[in-house]
C-alpha cells in the first residue's frame, strides 16, 4: 500500500504530511514519558519484526499480493504512540533505504499506515476491548477484528487521497482498494492474532495493553496475606 511518487498532487502530499508530522511529533513527545528500560528493546524488536514481515508478500486472488502492515500489532504491544513511531520508522527506512514508497508520498504513507493503521486503529481496538468481556480470547478477537479494519481504513484513506489528487475517481478507486484489501486484511488479522497469541503465551507482561491480569492478582495476593 506504499504510495509511489506521482500518484498524489502537492496539496494532498502537503496536507497528509502536515497531519502525519503533527501526530508523529506528539508521538515523540509521548515516547519520552513512555519509554523505559523494558520498552526500548521491545520497540526495537517490534520495528525489526514489522520490517521483516512487511517483506513477506503473500498471494491473494487474481495475480495480486498483499503483505502485513503491523500497525495494530505494534500498538497493542507498545501502546498507540510507540506503535505509531514503530510504523513511521519502518516507512522512513523503507522509503530512504529501499525505495519503497515515494519521498513525496512519505507523509501520506505515514498518515495511512502509522496514523490511521496504528494510532487511530488502536483506539478502535481499545473500544472493542472495552465492549467485550475481559478474557484472553476477546482480547485477541478485538485485535484481530481491528487489524482487519486498520487495513480497510488505511486503504480507504489511500483511495480518497488518489481521488482528491485526480489520479483515480473515488467511485473507481475506493471499491477496488477496499475489495482487494478486504482479503489482504484477513492475512493481517491472522498474523496479528498469531503473534499476539505467542507473546501472550510466553511473556504476557510484555504486552502493554494486556491489562486483564493487571491489578486483580495483586489484590488477590494482598487479601490472601490478610
Partner 1 sequence: MEARKKGIYVFILAGLLVSVALALLVSPWASSAPDGLEKVAEDKGFIEKAEETDPAWESAPIPDYAVPGLTREAVDEETGEVVEEPTKLATALAGFIGTVAIFLIAWGLALVLKKKTSEKAETTP
Under the rule (CB under 8 A), what is the footprint of partner 1? 1-7, 28, 31-33, 35-49, 51-53, 55-60, 62-67, 86, 89-90, 93, 95-100, 102-104, 155, 158, 162, 167-168, 172-173, 176-177, 180-181, 184, 202-203, 206
E runs forming strands in 13-132: 58-60, 64-66
SS3 for 192?
helix
Positive or negative: CA dihedral 159, 163, 168, 172: positive
SS3 for 37?
coil
Burial class (CB in 10 A: 0-12, 13-18, 19+), 133: exposed
SS3 for 65?
strand
Q: What is the smallest separation between the CB atom of 83 and partner 1, expressed in angstroms?
A: 12
Q: What is the smallest separation between the CB atom of 105 and partner 1, expressed in angstroms?
A: 9
Q: Nearer to partner 1 by C-beta: 28 or 127?
A: 28
Q: Nearer to partner 1 by C-beta: 104 or 209?
A: 104
* β 58-60/64-66 pair status: antiparallel
Q: What is the smallest separation between the CB atom of 31 and partner 1, expressed in angstroms?
A: 5
Q: Nearer to partner 1 by C-beta: 101 or 128?
A: 101
Q: What is the smallest separation between the CB atom of 224 and partner 1, expressed in angstroms?
A: 22
Amino acid at each position: 500500500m506504499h504510495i509511489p511518487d506521482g500518484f498524489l498532487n502537492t496539496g494532498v502530499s502537503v496536507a497528509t504530511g502536515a497531519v502525519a508530522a503533527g501526530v508523529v511529533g506528539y508521538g515523540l513527545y509521548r515516547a519520552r514519558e513512555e519509554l523505559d528500560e523494558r520498552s526500548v528493546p521491545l520497540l526495537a524488536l517490534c520495528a525489526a519484526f514489522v520490517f521483516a514481515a512487511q517483506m513477506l508478500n503473500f498471494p491473494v486472488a487474481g495475480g495480486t499480493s498483499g503483505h502485513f502492515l503491523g500497525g495494530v500489532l505494534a500498538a497493542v504491544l507498545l501502546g498507540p504512540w510507540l506503535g505509531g513511531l514503530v510504523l513511521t520508522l519502518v516507512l522512513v527506512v523503507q522509503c530512504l533505504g529501499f525505495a519503497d514508497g515515494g519521498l513525496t508520498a512519505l507523509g501520506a504513507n505515514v498518515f495511512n499506515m502509522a496514523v490511521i493503521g496504528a494510532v487511530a486503529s488502536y483506539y478502535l481496538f481499545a473500544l472493542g476491548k472495552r465492549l467485550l468481556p475481559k478474557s484472553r480470547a476477546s482480547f485477541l478477537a478485538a485485535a484481530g477484528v481491528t487489524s482487519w479494519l486498520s487495513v480497510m481504513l488505511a486503504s480507504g484513506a489511500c483511495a480518497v487521497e488518489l481521488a482528491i489528487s485526480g489520479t483515480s475517481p473515488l467511485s473507481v478507486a475506493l471499491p477496488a482498494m477496499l475489495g482487494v484489501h478486504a482479503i489482504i486484511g484477513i492475512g493481517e488479522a491472522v498474523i496479528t492474532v498469531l503473534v499476539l497469541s505467542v507473546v501472550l503465551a510466553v511473556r504476557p507482561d510484555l504486552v502493554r495493553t494486556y491489562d486483564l491480569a493487571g491489578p486483580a492478582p495483586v489484590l488477590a495476593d494482598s487479601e490472601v496475606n490478610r
